[in-house]
Amino acid sequence: MKLVGKYILTADIELVTGLHIGTSKEEVEVGGLDNPVVKDPFGNPYIPGSSLKGKMRMLMEFHEGLVDSSGKVHSCQKKDCKICGLFGRAIEKKEENTQSPPIFNRTRLIVRDAKLDKDSLKDLENLLETRWTEIKYENSINRITSAALPRPQERVPAGARFKAEFVVNIFEGDEGGDKNEDGDKKNPYLDCLLTAMELLEDDYLGGSGTRGYGKIKFKNITIKRRDASYYSGDEKVEEVRVYGDSPKEVRNKLKQS
Q: Under a CB-based contact definition with an 8 Å cutoff, are residues 9 and 221 in contact?
A: yes
- pLDDT, mean of residues 164-170: 95
Predicted local distance difference test score (pLDDT) of residue 13:
96
DSSP sequence for the chain: --EEEEEEEEEEEEESS-B--B--GGGPPTT--SSPBPB-TTS-BEE-HHHHHHHHHHHHHHHTT---TT-PPP----TT-HHHHHH--PPPPPPTT--PPPPP----EEEPPEEEEGGGGGGGTTT-SSSS-EEEEEEEE-TTT--EEEEEEEEBPTT-EEEEEEEEEEETTTT-S-B-TTSPBP-HHHHHHHHHHHHHHTS--SS-GGGT---EEEEEEEEEEEEGGGGTSSS---EEEEEESSHHHHHHHHHH-
Tens of pLDDT along 207-247? 888 988 999 999 999 999 998 888 887 666 778 878 889 99
Q: pLDDT category, 126, cuts 50, 70, 90?
A: confident
Overall pTM surpassing 0.75 (yes/no)? yes
Q: pLDDT category, 166, cuts 50, 70, 90?
A: very high
Put residue 31 in one of left, alpha, beta given phi > 0 → left and psi -120 to 50 → alpha: left
Reply yes or no on whether the pLDDT at 183 is more than 50: no
- pLDDT, mean of residues 99-103: 55
Reply yes or no on whether the pLDDT at 88 is more than 80: yes
Question: Distance (Å, rounded) from C-alpha 3 to C-alpha 59?
Answer: 28
Reply yes or no on whether the pLDDT at 204 is more than 60: yes
Average pLDDT over the chain reads 83
Q: Under a CB-based contact definition with an 8 Å cutoff, are residues 236 and 230 in contact?
A: yes
pLDDT top residue among 69 and 185: 69
Report for 14-28, 37-51, 83-97: range of highest mean pLDDT: 37-51
Please, what is the Cα angle at 170 between 165 and 173, to 5 degrees?
155
Least confident of 24-38, 53-67, 158-172: 24-38
Tens of pLDDT along 129-139? 788 888 888 77
Q: pLDDT category, 2, cuts 50, 70, 90?
A: confident
Predicted local distance difference test score (pLDDT) of residue 219:
94
